[in-house]
Amino acid sequence: MFSKFCQYRCIFCDTLSRRHLDLCSVCEQKLPFLSNYCTRCACPISEEGAICGACLNLPPIALKTTVLFRYHPPIDQLIMSLKFQNNLINAKILGELFGSHLYDKYRKITKPEVIIPMPLHSKRLRERGYNQALELSRPIAKKLSLPIDAFSVIRKKNTLPQAQLSVNERQQNVRKAFCIIKSFNYRHVAIVDDVITTGNTIFELCKFLSDVGVQEIDIWCCAKSILREFF
């Protein structure tokens, strides 16, 4: 039995993880898990499962957000390394942790019909060679027995990196960024992404999906970046 796990070593402490994951249980417990956050924008709030005041004024789209971590060390390094250094093993680790969390959450509530990874523009996809949201989606889809649709929705606008822009510029940057290129008849979908900050990009996609007939949208995001200017 022990030999099955010999190939799995923790990416943080380099000890044998003793499970089918390159992360030991001790280091997992030290990760910056996020709790008590707004179920729309994921900003921290005092009451679990509530909606923050700012989100009460947003358009009434039927969506709920699940986030696993704060975008703090070492999660931020794992995601940056996944996106810019081709460390796809990080997608497997994060995706499996998130998949287990979602599996428990959806035991008694209806799962979405399909997972839609946050689309990358074709130019950025060629530069990177992969879509990190799709890579995160794979272990989640396997755990929840859900299909992935990575082709029906595309990003038609080559947006600038949101981190380089002001709040107002971010909103304009992602306006009308998405379109559909294949038949799309889903009523309940889950969008998977790596990090949510202001939420402008993911909410623009939610608005677009709502406009084409999607009735329920679940946002599954690995980490929430919490910046003072957005409180």
* pLDDT tens-digit series, residues 126-168: 999 999 999 999 999 999 999 999 999 988 876 655 555 555 5
Output the pLDDT for position 102.
Answer: 97
Output the pLDDT for position 1.
Answer: 45
Residue length, the chain?
231
Residues 32-67 pLDDT 10s: 999 899 988 898 888 888 888 888 887 667 789 999
Does the pLDDT value for residue 123 go beyond 80?
Answer: yes
Does the pLDDT value for residue 219 go beyond 80?
Answer: yes
C-alpha span between 168 and 143 (Å, rounded): 38
HSE-CB at 64 with a 13 A cutoff on CA atoms is 13
Output the pLDDT for position 168.
Answer: 58
| Local confidence band at 172 (pLDDT 50, 70, 90 cut-offs) | low
Output the pLDDT for position 55.
Answer: 84
Mean pLDDT (the chain) is 87
Q: Average pLDDT, stretch 159-179?
A: 63
C-alpha span between 33 and 130 (Å, rounded): 26
User: H-type helices in the chain, by residue range?
Assistant: 25-29, 53-56, 75-84, 89-105, 122-128, 132-144, 167-173, 200-211
| Local confidence band at 198 (pLDDT 50, 70, 90 cut-offs) | confident
Domain 32-230 matching CATH 1.20.950: the answer reads no
Domain with CATH 3.40.50 in the chain: 32-230
Output the pLDDT for position 70.
Answer: 95
